[in-house]
């Protein structure tokens, strides 16, 4: 909520977060062993991809999703020493853009954090997806997403 004063929260992401990022750190901390072909070259975090939000559709999570996502982005950039790394957010999309209720709140929060109000149809090989065969023109994709 723009303009609203936010309370400081005691934020804990949870076990799945711990498992995911502890595994990432384990690999990166042992980079030369994990990737002997690149031994001594090191690595660079070029960006983050985030595809999550469907489990946040209930309260109290949906109404705090935007603030929590901002906190997550800041935390991961700091934790991985990649302060300027871009953060790509794949929004939830149940029922296309006809979302309602708490899922709509989460999707709008994801778009608000990105600063991008555009809607983009990603190509997919899912046989049930719109444009699964890749035949939709850009105009048809825009019409579909309205």
Spell 103-135 as b/e; 16+ CB within 10 A means b.
Answer: bbbbbbbbbbbbeeeeeebeeeeeeeeeeeeee
Alpha helices in 1-146 (DSSP H): 15-29, 31-34, 61-79, 101-114, 138-145
In the structure, what pLDDT confidence band is assigned to residue 1 with cuts at 50, 70 and 90?
A: very low
Separation between Cα atoms, residue 123 and residue 119, nearest integer Å: 13
Separation between Cα atoms, residue 88 and residue 56, nearest integer Å: 18
Indicate the length of the chain as a whole number: 146
Separation between Cα atoms, residue 10 and residue 12, nearest integer Å: 7
- Cα–Cα distances (Å) from 138 to 79, 89, 102, 119, 120, in that order, read 38, 21, 29, 11, 10
Separation between Cα atoms, residue 96 and residue 145, nearest integer Å: 7
CB atoms within 10 A of CB 35: 12
pLDDT recorded at residue 9: 59
User: Would the pTM of this model clear 0.85, i.e. be above it?
Assistant: no
In tens, the pLDDT along 51-84 reads 877 667 677 778 888 888 888 889 999 999 999 8
Higher pLDDT, residue 93 or 33: 33
- β-strand partners of 88: 49
DSSP character for 118? -
Q: What's the rounded mean pLDDT across residues 27-39? A: 95
Q: What's the rounded mean pLDDT across residues 25-49? A: 93
């Amino acid at each position: 909520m723009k303009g609203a004063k936010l309370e400081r929260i005691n934020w804990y992401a949870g076990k799945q977060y711990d498992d995911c990022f502890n595994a990432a750190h384990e690999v990166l901390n042992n980079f030369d062993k994990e990737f002997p072909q690149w031994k001594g070259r090191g690595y660079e975090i070029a960006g983050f991809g985030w595809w999550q939000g469907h489990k946040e559709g209930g309260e109290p999570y949906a109404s705090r999703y935007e603030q929590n996502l901002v906190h997550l982005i800041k935390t991961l950039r700091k934790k991985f020493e990649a302060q300027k790394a871009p953060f790509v957010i794949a929004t939830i999309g149940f029922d296309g853009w006809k979302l309602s209720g708490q899922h709509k709140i989460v999707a709008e929060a994801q778009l608000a954090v990105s600063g991008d109000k555009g809607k983009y149809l990603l190509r997919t090989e899912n046989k049930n997806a719109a444009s699964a065969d890749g035949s939709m023109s850009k105009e048809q994709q825009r019409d579909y997403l309205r």
